[in-house]
A and B are shown apart, each in its own frame.
Chain A
């Protein structure tokens, strides 16, 4: 099971304490049985939350292409999800009248700056200089659905590939899904190719975009962990460099010690302090990226 799916599992609001508590989730819980539900297939893991989010769908695929595999998988999924979560979890929801997109038009932030547009998790590939943005036309397929009146609404086809790319930190996300997919390795499971049933955003993503209480706690915990990291590394630099003048004053003999023909103060200040600072900087950049990666995985999965 990939790490993303594990975090997803941890995000379900139930009662059991998770032993390896996740730093970004304030109320660390694990659903009983979801881990054990046997969702080993990658595709199933990825789509489980969507199904959980709207378990009361009417069977929408009577008029869809007879994709036997996808129907079978979806039914199996729904069976399992119903078993685990008979009731839709409470919490703020996007207005149902607006379709199941998380549209923020009505309650979005009033004031300056662009509004937080809803970005489906599958449409956001891994960050990077050339990352495909959520607005890239290659990532969206507009399907005219009868009950959708807003022309800007698009139905998100969520290819399994993109999810894979979003999980893999090394992926650049620059290529099209077909290019990044190793041939024959994964089956394209089209769960959302149904009339009027685009995938629901994950609850945590909604939490983030609408900044519910859960979202605020998650955000504050991200900021706190980044600040801890920065203060720790800054503290190392400050103590290491800041103690030097005092040391040289208290122990003047250290100022005359020679290594390789260079006096200690010259060696430390003129030479070694730069690799030291570079090492700290590298360590921080890597650790901060990892914290962000964990946070984003946690939110999106």
Chain B
């Protein structure tokens, strides 16, 4: 095993160990169930904003944004912009009222606002679906990282390792400890991308090869690419290379010359490109660097539709993510909830500058990922590709690996806490409630996505994550926004809207996860369903509520007032007792 692999694996072990230790340390403060779930509400706003950001910046943000930029250029920047803008929507429509309702999960909110056990069960089901859907790419990212930094290791080691660390941290610490873990992990992630980004930009300086060339990217050195999944590649300039495997449906071994056109490579093949060869690019993505620099490049169909649907999913989906909402309960009041969200906007904005810079650099230094399709690994490989396998390159690679691991752990633990919270407070699943069942639920919450991650095929992490956003935007966004701002919402309307938005988006998401979607605009809509399912859910809720207006609760005005009245009027009593 190489030095770089040892350094990277040590970094992973350190992050996992430190997370567990902070978690165990925090357990000393946890006294009862509400401590476990809501961190006793004594978390400082800066720590809380760090924790929210730390929890939110997942494998998709840390690894996949740069990888998508490598492939797609500025169009991929809509992912980080949308991930950030989601917090603006959350701030505008949800943060303070949700805090004032005194509840911290969507099922509890549904129960508080509409007092319908059926609605509570439906929302609990969607919390679990969204949580598991979001956990899937986190665990896959952990597997990918281990497979990349330690060549020869199978990816399941990373998947299982991440699951075990997350579940153990949650089980021994609850959310109180998670808050500190998350805050620590945000700053770790920020450092782990900021330091390489700054060092690499300074190191390369003005000496980099120009990006604006009307030609495909070139291999900076002799490169061997192992093809893990079947790929279709586009070639504009004839390339010569050595191959061993199945190319264009024929078994080939030895020198190959590809003319301009489309070519396919079957998985298991190995291609060896000499330095300076033009890089074949996946079909549908911009081939020449000069077109890659411009928006809406590449010849994929219906790009505008896809971009707008992605914008809707990310803008509106953030407020429906269970691990984000639960975090807002650790604010003392609605005003602090708003201020915390503003701080989160600042932290995310600072963070997302880095993946953009690293993604652009990776076009120059690790273009071979375009061939293999593992563009998610761009950030991991960039330091050694630029600086070589010397001390600095290895150290920076270790730092990035640590940050990536922190990204999986933080998001996954937040999700496991949320899913376990719903599982353990659901009356059908655990009649007794209490801290013990929360721990059992945490194990269950981690086990199911573990199986899924080992079984399912892998998309780009950010794409899988945006599927979870689409489901959240189609279900909980309408429920929260209408529940908070519209007195006319009824329980029947909410259930109907949840089912319409949820079933349609989950169906679309499942079809694209299993890659059985057709082409054309239908395929785009199945991969990014929000543009249809979100309006459908809103419309259903409004229309059905209108037909069932007789079911409006008599004290809706009082509930609405509690959601919006400032705390100093003393109108919104907390559900959880203030710590004495």
Most central of A129, A234, A241, A256 by chain B CB within 10 Å:
A129
**B76 nearest CB neighbor, chain A only:** A269
Do B308 and A245 touch across chains, with their CB atoms under 8 A apart? yes
Known: A205-B569, A242-B308. A234 touches B88 (CB 8 A): yes
Do A255 and B295 touch across chains, with their CB atoms under 8 A apart? yes
Chain B hits for A248, CB < 8 A: 294-296
Chain B hits for A209, CB < 8 A: 571
Do A282 and B564 touch across chains, with their CB atoms under 8 A apart? no
Please provide the chain B residues from 304 to 345 with a CB less than 8 Å away from any CB of chain A in the complex. 304, 307-308, 311, 315, 332-333, 335-336, 338-339, 341-342, 345
Roughly how many angstroms separate A227 CA and B92 CA in the complex, as a whole number? 8
**A110 nearest CB neighbor, chain B only:** B555
Roughly how many angstroms separate A126 CA and B336 CA in the complex, as a whole number? 13
Cβ of A136 to closest chain B Cβ, rounded Å: 10
Please tell me if A90 contacts chain B, counting CB pairs below 8 Å. no
The listed residue (B84, B88, B342, B564) touching A219 by CB distance below 8 A is B564
Residues of B within 8 Å of A, CB-based: how many? 60
Cβ of A116 to closest chain B Cβ, rounded Å: 6
Roughly how many angstroms separate A285 CA and B340 CA in the complex, as a whole number? 10
**B346 nearest CB neighbor, chain A only:** A278
The listed residue (A112, A134, A270, A282) touching B356 by CB distance below 8 A is A270
The listed residue (B74, B304, B569) touching A269 by CB distance below 8 A is B74
Please tell me if B567 contacts chain A, counting CB pairs below 8 Å. yes
Do B294 and A252 touch across chains, with their CB atoms under 8 A apart? yes
How many A-B pairs fall under 8 Å by CB?
185
Roughly how many angstroms separate A266 CA and B361 CA in the complex, as a whole number? 13
**B41 nearest CB neighbor, chain A only:** A129
Chain A's interface: helix, strand, loop or mixed, by majority?
Answer: helix
Cβ of B162 to closest chain A Cβ, rounded Å: 29
Known: A223-B485, A281-B345, A289-B338. A296 touches B571 (CB 8 A): no
Known: A117-B573, A127-B333. A295 touches B349 (CB 8 A): no
**A285 nearest CB neighbor, chain B only:** B338
Roughly how many angstroms separate A222 CA and B350 CA in the complex, as a whole number? 34
Roughly how many angstroms separate A181 CA and B339 CA in the complex, as a whole number? 28
Roughly how many angstroms separate A126 CA and B567 CA in the complex, as a whole number? 9
Please provide the chain B residues from 98 to 146 with a CB less than 8 Å away from any CB of chain A in the complex. 112, 115
Please tell me if B494 contacts chain A, counting CB pairs below 8 Å. no
Chain A hits for B304, CB < 8 A: 245-246, 249
Known: A117-B570, A119-B570, A278-B349. A237 touches B85 (CB 8 A): yes
Proximity string of chain A (231-272) to chain B, C-beta cutoff 8 Å, 1 when within and 0 when not: 001100110011001101100100110000001011001110
Do A300 and B569 touch across chains, with their CB atoms under 8 A apart? yes
Chain B hits for A227, CB < 8 A: 485
Chain B hits for A270, CB < 8 A: 74, 77, 352-353, 356-357
Do B346 and A222 touch across chains, with their CB atoms under 8 A apart? no
Please tell me if B257 contacts chain A, counting CB pairs below 8 Å. no
Chain A hits for B485, CB < 8 A: 223, 227
Cβ of B446 to closest chain A Cβ, rounded Å: 33
Chain B hits for A109, CB < 8 A: 555, 558
The listed residue (B92, B295, B557) touching A284 by CB distance below 8 A is B92
Cβ of B46 to closest chain A Cβ, rounded Å: 12
Cβ of A222 to closest chain B Cβ, rounded Å: 6
Please tell me if A208 contacts chain B, counting CB pairs below 8 Å. yes
Other than the given A245-B311, A265-B294, 20 more pairs (CB < 8 A) read A109-B555, A111-B115, A111-B555, A112-B115, A116-B558, A119-B569, A208-B561, A216-B557, A223-B564, A234-B92, A245-B307, A245-B308, A249-B304, A265-B77, A271-B353, A271-B356, A274-B81, A275-B349, A277-B349, A281-B341
Enumerate chain A interface residues (CB-CB to B < 8 A). 109, 111-114, 116-117, 119, 124-129, 131, 133-134, 166, 205, 208-209, 211, 215-216, 219-220, 222-223, 226-227, 230, 233-234, 237-238, 241-242, 245-246, 248-249, 252, 255-256, 263, 265-266, 269-271, 273-275, 277-278, 280-282, 284-285, 288-289, 292-293, 295-296, 299-300
